[in-house]
Structure 1
Amino acid sequence: MTTRTPSNSFSGKLTSLGLVSQIIIAIILGTMLAVASPEIAQSFAMLGSLFVSALKAVAPILVLVLVASSIANQKINSDAQLKPIVGLYLLGTLSAAFVAVILSFLFPTSLTLDLAGASANPPQGLGEVLSTLAFKVVENPISAIANGNFIALLAWGLGLGFSLKHASVQTKNTLHDFSEAISSIVRIVIRFAPVGIFGLVANTIATTGFSALWEYSHLVLVLLSAMFIIALLVNPLIVFLITKKNPYPLVFMCLRGSGITAFFTRSSAANIPVNMALCKKLELHEDTYSVSIPLGATINMAGAAITITVLTLAAAHSLNIEVDFATAILLSIVASISACGASGVAGGSLLLIPLACGLFGINNDVAMQVVAIGFIIGVIQDSAETALNSSTDVVFSAAASHHITKELS
């Protein structure tokens, strides 16, 4: 008869905790170590560097394969009733990016980054941005993966995805399986996030003091403010323009019935059954919401658009890059498109930040440090992002379905 040792029992309990709980513990332990012994804390910097390097390794190939697979395997639905809902999904995501731009301009965020060996080649005006964008798009895909050129990878992913839409089922399944395999590797890397965050927090606080925590709290406030504005002002306005009725009963019902569970599960996909039950309760057309809800979990990503936009502009501000409003609008469009292809894994939207950073010539080393900061604040950010995304799926499905019913009656 075998018995567990106390250490095994403790490690088993620690492993059984969710990722959020593990990250919270890592932040607390890293902070305590930095206060107790700054010298020892700085020696753990390698853990953070290894985590950032792992993210740099997996992110480029993830973007390429995920975008290509999602487009190639997209089901073509001839039901015209889905068009208004998809239109609302895209409008909501773009509106979220616009709000994020405005708040980032009003309340700019500076981040403490390791700029040793880093480089940034900021463009001068919208014309140069578009020119740089055009040349990045046509880079060889192998070079793009090696250099972390996410703009080219997005373009190649889109091209391959549309080209393979008419491929055989076997080819599409193979591409889907490959996408799932890459996503599995990303999940493994993210499972080590608590270890990496422990090293990052310990080294950052030991080096810069608690000023870094203020930076993170300011960043979280900007992110949450943008998400609240979308959930409580922009979305209700859109619903009112469609239904001509008070939108808040529907909005609050969706936040209670969908947003709360999504906040804790941190997965739009896991929240699909909850949303389907809520749509049934609202007496929506089953043929419509049975497609619109799973589709929304994939492309309705207002929260992700906010995260990508705010963190990218924070990186630009930290490097003293002047961003004009026209370029920021272009960033909003790129962020919206990128958000629609965000990975389904926790923190998946963060891995698309380097793509947006590429618009401003910010290199991969700096961009991935920003991604790592995103994982630190992800305890709150990712939960709120998922709650906004998932609850909005039902809000827009209900609003558009009401409009359709009204038009048909």
Structure 2
Amino acid sequence: MKKLLLSWNNISLVKRIIIGLIIGIVLALTIPETASWVSIFGSLFVGALKAVAPILVFVIVIHAISRHKKGNKTNLKSIILLYALGTFLAGLTGVIASFLFPVTLSLTAGAEDLTPPSGIVEVIETLLFNIVDNPINALLNANYIGILTWAILIGIALRSAADTTKTMVENLSNAISVIVKWVINLAPIGIMGLVFDAIATSGLSALLDYGKLLVVLLGCMLFVALIVNPLIVFSFIRRNPYPLVLTCLKDSGITAFFTRSSAANIPVNMNLAERLGLNKNTYSVSIPLGATINMAGAAVTISVLTLAAVHTLGVEVDIPTAVILVVLSAVSAAGASGVAGGSLLLIPLACSLFGISNDVAMQVVGVGFIIGVLQDSCETALNSSSDVLFTATAEYAKKEKA
């Protein structure tokens, strides 16, 4: 048994994940009822990631800030610029694709009980209140804006602390990092459970009626991941961006696709950033920040589904309004994590730009939930993998200039 475990651990994590993925698909298609217990592994894996992520961010950011020395640049300005640029161009991609390949919907009820934000002011207000959240409450509810705020403040306060205190924080940070590696090592079993549960319970038949909408949505996300993001990276580092892009999609995007949670993927991204040799002072802040505000996939979802409603109702759209939609989808996407329901519940906000009633907009949200099996998975994969991509891009660009 020991030799078997050693042989298993010697296989690369990605290959082990693929094996788990294949086993999950086979079990779901052949004996879904008999193997229903397999889905618990997926729930346990996501639960473990979500449990360790808040304390990981809290401790590692405190350690990084407390050890930070004056004169050491963290590239955060460049990373935030990349986050904003990537999200804006993703929204623009969604708008252009929706005009080139217009989609209409058969609207049905299904989201009446949900309450979307009343306006962009409410979205921003939610984010501001998250900043001043109680630190214990922020940790309990995985409010990463609040966690980051408190971790940065405590880290700054500890910069003048005794070396023994800083060593204790460092040891705690290292211990949490080890636990994260243990959890990530369980990814093949976890993803086996997740893919089994997705296919056994939801299936793919429910998605066929929305094939054209899914093609536009997923096509936009693939275009952003494989064309737009590489162009952004190339403009900064001036060399072939695809080795870095594909590494991030493979090592971060795959797990994000199945966990469907940017927060749960934070430990995975931290681990990848470490393996890429990135500056810990930078990625310990930029990765959890990206999980909150770097939302290219959400911008695509908001713009495409909003314009699907527009085309369904035959509303005319001029160029200035389309530009406003791009900006609105990018800003809304950055605030999506502060709203229950994520990007889908921000669709009524964008629909209001075209005078579409809330009743109709919430039917579009209902469609979003139907296709959410694929839409949300691809959206999270794009969002989360680009957190590491843009963090690495900023650091490589800095090295190129040095």
Q: Which TM bucket (shorter chain)? A: 0.5 to 0.7
Match status 1:384 vs 2:378:
yes
Match status 1:398 vs 2:392:
yes
How far apart, in 1, do the equivalents of 2:242 and 2:218 lie?
A: 19
Amino acid at match of 2:265: N
Deviation above 4 Å: which 4+ runs of structure 1?
12-19, 77-80, 146-149, 159-165, 172-180, 212-215, 344-347
- Name the counterpart of 1:59: none
Amino acid at match of 1:227: M
- Name the counterpart of 1:104: 98
Give me the identity figure in percent. 54
* Structure 1 counterpart SS, 2:247: helix
Match status 1:341 vs 2:307:
no
How far apart, in 2, do the equivalents of 1:359 and 1:250 lie?
A: 38
- Name the counterpart of 2:302: 308
Give 1:265's match in structure 2, choosing from 259, 266, 271.
259
- Name the counterpart of 1:252: 246
Match status 1:91 vs 2:57:
no
Deviations 1:62-94 (A, max 9, x none): xxxxxxxxxxxxx9x996620100100010000
Q: Structure 2 matches for 1:280-299, cutoff 5 A? A: 280-299=274-293
Q: Structure 2 matches for 1:117-136, cutoff 5 A? A: none
Cα offset, 1:215, TM superposition: 5.0
Moved more, 397-406 or 237-246: 397-406
Cα offset, 1:150, TM superposition: 3.7
CA contact (8 A) 2:117 2:123 kept: no
Taking a change above 3 Å as real, the CA distance of residues 368 and 18 of structure 1, as seen in their structure-2 partners, is: farther
- Name the counterpart of 2:124: 158
CA contact (8 A) 1:109 1:215 kept: no
- Name the counterpart of 1:204: none
- Name the counterpart of 2:190: none
Cα offset, 1:405, TM superposition: 2.5
Cα offset, 1:108, TM superposition: 0.6
Give 1:329's match in structure 2, choosing from 302, 323, 341.
323
Cα offset, 1:362, TM superposition: 1.2
Cα offset, 1:147, TM superposition: 12
Taking a change above 3 Å as real, the CA distance of residues 323 and 350 of structure 1, as seen in their structure-2 partners, is: same
* Structure 1 counterpart SS, 2:264: coil
Cα offset, 1:406, TM superposition: 2.9
Taking a change above 3 Å as real, the CA distance of residues 290 and 372 of structure 1, as seen in their structure-2 partners, is: same
Cα offset, 1:343, TM superposition: 2.8
How far apart, in 2, do the equivalents of 1:341 and 1:176 lie?
A: 19
CA contact (8 A) 1:220 1:381 kept: yes
- Name the counterpart of 1:81: 75
Alignment gaps of 5+ in structure 2: 1-32, 44-61, 144-197
Match status 1:278 vs 2:244:
no
Amino acid at match of 2:259: T
CA contact (8 A) 1:150 1:358 kept: no
How far apart, in 2, do the equivalents of 1:370 and 1:300 lie?
A: 24
How far apart, in 2, do the equivalents of 1:213 and 1:284 lie?
A: 40
Count of aligned residue pairs for this structure pair: 286
CA contact (8 A) 2:123 2:332 kept: no
Q: Structure 2 matches for 1:10-25, cutoff 5 A? A: 16=40
- Name the counterpart of 2:210: 216
TM-score by length of 2: 0.62
* Structure 2 counterpart SS, 1:343: helix
Cα offset, 1:247, TM superposition: 0.4
How far apart, in 1, do the equivalents of 2:41 and 2:365 lie?
A: 23
Deviations 1:15-61 (A, max 9, x none): 95979xxxxxxxxxxxxxxxxxxxxxxxxxxxxxxxxxxxxxxxxxx
How far apart, in 2, do the equivalents of 1:341 and 1:164 lie?
A: 11
Moved more, 339-348 or 264-273: 339-348
Taking a change above 3 Å as real, the CA distance of residues 179 and 156 of structure 1, as seen in their structure-2 partners, is: farther
CA contact (8 A) 2:292 2:334 kept: yes
Deviations 1:107-150 (A, max 9, x none): 111001259xx9xxxxxxxxxxxxxxxxxxxxxxxxxxx99784
Amino acid at match of 2:395: S
* Structure 1 counterpart SS, 2:317: coil
CA contact (8 A) 2:297 2:382 kept: yes
CA contact (8 A) 1:347 1:382 kept: no
Amino acid at match of 1:155: V
Match status 1:317 vs 2:283:
no
- Name the counterpart of 2:26: none
CA contact (8 A) 2:107 2:367 kept: no
- Name the counterpart of 1:23: none
How far apart, in 2, do the equivalents of 1:364 and 1:280 lie?
A: 45
How far apart, in 2, do the equivalents of 1:177 and 1:160 lie?
A: 17
How far apart, in 1, do the equivalents of 2:324 and 2:234 lie?
A: 28
- Name the counterpart of 2:220: 226
How far apart, in 2, do the equivalents of 1:175 and 1:394 lie?
A: 24
* Structure 1 counterpart SS, 2:337: coil
Taking a change above 3 Å as real, the CA distance of residues 148 and 351 of structure 1, as seen in their structure-2 partners, is: closer
Cα offset, 1:156, TM superposition: 4.0
Amino acid at match of 1:333: V
Taking a change above 3 Å as real, the CA distance of residues 177 and 158 of structure 1, as seen in their structure-2 partners, is: farther
How far apart, in 2, do the equivalents of 1:388 and 1:161 lie?
A: 22
How far apart, in 1, do the equivalents of 2:379 and 2:219 lie?
A: 11
Taking a change above 3 Å as real, the CA distance of residues 332 and 162 of structure 1, as seen in their structure-2 partners, is: same
